[in-house]
Structure 1
Amino acid sequence: MAIEISDRAREWLRKHGGVAMVRLSPRHGCCGGRADIAVAEARTPDAPEYFTRLERDDVVLYIDPTLVDQGLTLDVEGFRGLRHLFVDGASLSR
């Protein structure tokens, strides 16, 4: 399976439109180098044709194709109105 979705994340996504995008976000080191970290956002990507679309349990996920076989987990952290999605399980160094 391309990505696991926790019950908390599934419930949170259903309350926030039922769509999530999982993409790579570059992080640059102070002395050079770069790591691409997987991040999640509760929205449809601007260019969905560049993502792999998955539908599961009334939730639509758009996943960066480079992350499809990375063994990711989508979850929620925080409390009350400060909860947000996060992705566990992948980073790619360059």
Structure 2
Amino acid sequence: MNHVIDIDSNAVDFIKKQGGVVTVRLSPRHGCCGGLANLAVAEPRHPDAPHHYQHHIQDSISIYIAPELAAQGLRIGVEGWWKLRHLYVDSVAIQ
């Protein structure tokens, strides 16, 4: 497994409070003119089909990552306020 995942310390705390599991996967987004883009998302839960994901432990968090994202440099952060807090995924340059 060649993943590079940087998890912000605030995101680590958030994920641990949500159960200590995060799933990173592609989610299709439809554009206003009929286009389609797959965006990486991070969700603080187990995947529906764990056998389709690569699994590893980092920062005492159980991470499930879609194989098509495993070789990419990713950063997981948390944004929002109070009950509206949610995780986000950014790409990072692999050095």
TM-score, normalised to structure 2, is: 0.86
Aligned to 1:8: 10
Aligned to 1:76: 78
C-alpha RMSD over aligned residues = 1.5
> How far did residue 63 of structure 1 move?
0.5
Aligned to 2:62: 60
Aligned to 1:87: 89
Amino acid at match of 1:37: L
Q: After the TM superposition, which segments of 4 or more aligned residues of structure 1 sit over 6 Å from their partners?
A: none
Look up the SS of the partner of 1:45 in the other structure: coil
- Compared with structure 1, are the counterparts of its residues 28 and 81 closer, same or farther at alpha carbon in structure 2 (3 Å cutoff)? closer
Aligned to 2:21: 19
Look up the SS of the partner of 1:43 in the other structure: coil
Q: Which sections of structure 1, spanning at least 5 residues, go unmatched?
A: none
> How far did residue 82 of structure 1 move?
2.0
In 1: Cα distance, 2:14 partner to 2:23 partner: 14
Higher mean C-alpha deviation, range 15-24 or range 80-89: 80-89
Q: Which sections of structure 2, spanning at least 5 residues, go unmatched?
A: none
Deviation readout 1:8-62 (Å, 9 max, x if unpaired): 1111111110001011001122333321000111100111000010101210110
Identical counterparts, % of pairs: 51
Amino acid at match of 2:88: F
TM-score, normalised to structure 1, is: 0.87
